[in-house]
Amino acid sequence: MGVRKFKPTSSGSRFRSGSDFSEITTDKPYKPLLKPIRKTGGRSNSGRTSMWQKGGGHKRAYRIIDFRRDKLNIPCTVETIEYDPNRSSRIALLKYADGERRYILAPQGIGVGESLLSGPDAEIKTGNALPVKSIPLGTIIHNIELRPGQGGKIARSAGTYAQLVAKDEGMCQLKLSSTEVRVVPEECMATVGQVGNSEHENISIGKAGRNRWRGRRPHVRGVAMNPVDHPLGGGEGKTSGGRPPVSPWSKPEGKKTRKNMLTDRFIVRRRKSR
């Protein structure tokens, strides 16, 4: 698992880097766990463009991931470590003792042939899934549920994790990698360890065409447009706006939009707070 740098044979490859895929053991996914993805081109269900910088991109199939880890007390072994085009982390194919196969997020340091288990009596070992109440304080965990049985929602991208810091009255405190402290019910499932492929953040795109492969179209600045196209457009010569940044429909950008006060009680300390 590392970052590969390309030879500067062109302007596009001069600063380009990518994963070396050294941890990948197969390039053929398990077909029963694949599902087609229909492209939207950035358009809503009414056919109107709602995401201006979305469109194109390489065709890809969705891998069905087991975020719940609800196959309890049945041992399994890691068959393969695979690339997933839909997420930054790698995925691992598990084969259970009863013959069923499921994909999970591949934790850091996991390898082919390792034995894993889900359930309250599982060992505190990387890749095992347990209720948070069964995990010791200070343990690094990922793929954490917000509500029991909902499936993992927290710490799922490459290199992310949370640390269990406290338990009190049926609730457990988690310190996220963003420094936010949040509480979840103690019955929520979580997986021991850190999500793998932590080198993903060091990858340099290198050229615009690589973003087009991902379905990301060019982003035009508002100050470069005409007044009829954007509130920041126009002006004699080049101007930098001269007002707070806004969307093409004059909605303020950078303004906090969180309005879910029902779940504010689960946030002990927000990220970036002093």
165 assigned to some structural domain: yes
Q: What is the pLDDT of residue 15?
A: 93
234 assigned to some structural domain: no
Q: What is the pLDDT of residue 273?
A: 60
Q: What is the pLDDT of residue 88?
A: 95
Quick one: pLDDT band at residue 242, thresholds 50, 70, 90? confident
- Per the CB < 8 A criterion, the answer to whether 61 and 67 are in contact is no
Quick one: pLDDT band at residue 220, thresholds 50, 70, 90? very high
Measure the CA–CA gap between 130 and 36, rounded to whole angstroms. 31
pLDDT digits (tens, 9 = 90+) for 169-200: 899 999 999 999 999 999 999 999 999 999 99
Q: How far is CA 233 from CA 101, 224, 245, 260, in A?
A: 54, 6, 11, 34
Q: What is the pLDDT of residue 261?
A: 87
> How many residues comprise the chain?
274
8 assigned to some structural domain: yes
Number of domains, the chain? 1
pLDDT digits (tens, 9 = 90+) for 71-130: 999 999 999 999 999 999 999 999 999 999 999 999 999 999 999 999 999 999 999 999
128 assigned to some structural domain: yes
Domain that holds residue 110: 3-201
Answering whether pTM is above 0.75, one says yes
18: domain CATH number is 2.40.50.140
272 pLDDT higher than 80: no
Q: How far is CA 231 from CA 47, 48, 117, 182, 234, in A?
A: 25, 21, 56, 38, 9
256 assigned to some structural domain: no
Give φ, ψ of 261 to 5 degrees.
-75, -15
252 assigned to some structural domain: no
243 assigned to some structural domain: no
Q: Which parts of the chain are beta strand (E)?
A: 3-5, 17-19, 34-36, 61-63, 76-82, 91-96, 101-105, 115-116, 129-131, 140-142, 144-145, 152-154, 162-168, 171-176, 181-185, 189-192, 267-269
253 assigned to some structural domain: no
